[in-house]
Amino acid sequence: MTASNVERGETELLHRIAYFVASGRRWSEIARELGILVTYIRALTGSDQFRPLVDQYRLKIDRGDPELVEFEKKHQEDSLRTANMQLALEEQQFRLINQPESYTHRDLADLIAQHAERLDAAKVVSGTVDLATNLALARQRRSTLAAERPPSSAAESREPSSTPAEAAPADTSDTLQ
């Protein structure tokens, strides 16, 4: 990711925040939707450099600017994409915890590549999936379930067989000279 992409992403975030503040949304709602802290919004709204941007969006909202229709449409698409991604992550996390043996390293690499592609390489997304912890939890859960499971009756009825083929070979070291 280049420096210009990062700057573009930060500029886009500032414009989104300004638009939402100008449209009257609550700070907590903006923070939750954009994945930022309320204190960041508070700091921005107190900034002399940010206020003109909010005022500019208030004027555009009052005039019914068609540019804002595109802006809102893009935001809705991003929100839908984020919601779908969250759902996919939750499904994968459920599978990882409940069926860890069904994953290979290749599967995990493919999942990461798919998620990165869906999120678009130019966007910065915060979030983690702690695979090591989830795998450890899954193994712990599996061992707990195995300990709780009563032994099968077929395993109890088996007795070791004593056929001559399975008997240990006799020590022949004395016969060889």
Rounded average pLDDT per 10-residue block, the chain, 177 residues: 53 88 91 89 91 91 82 81 83 82 79 70 50 76 80 50 45 44
What pLDDT is recorded for position 174?
45
Instruction: Report pLDDT for 177.
Output: 41
Query: What CA–CA distance (Å, rounded) separates 123 from 129?
Result: 18
Question: What is the token pair recorded at 88?
Answer: 């996919």
pLDDT at residue 169, rounded to an integer: 47
**Residue 172: alpha-carbon gap to chain centroid:** 64
**pLDDT attached to residue 118:** 66
Question: By CB neighbour count within 10 A (0-12 exposed, 13-18 middle, 19+ buried), where does 19 fall?
Answer: buried
Whole-number pLDDT of residue 7:
58
17/44 Cα distance (integer angstroms): 9
Phi-psi region of 65 (alpha: psi -120 to 50; beta: other; left: phi over 0): beta
Positive or negative: CA dihedral 28, 31, 35, 41: negative
Q: Could you state, in order of their start, the residue ranges of all structural domains in the chain?
A: 1-64, 84-146
Going by the DSSP 8-state scheme, the letter that residue 26 receives in this structure is: -
Q: What is the pLDDT of residue 175?
A: 41
Q: What is the pLDDT of residue 26?
A: 93
Q: So what's the pLDDT on residue 176?
A: 45
pTM of the predicted model over 0.85: no
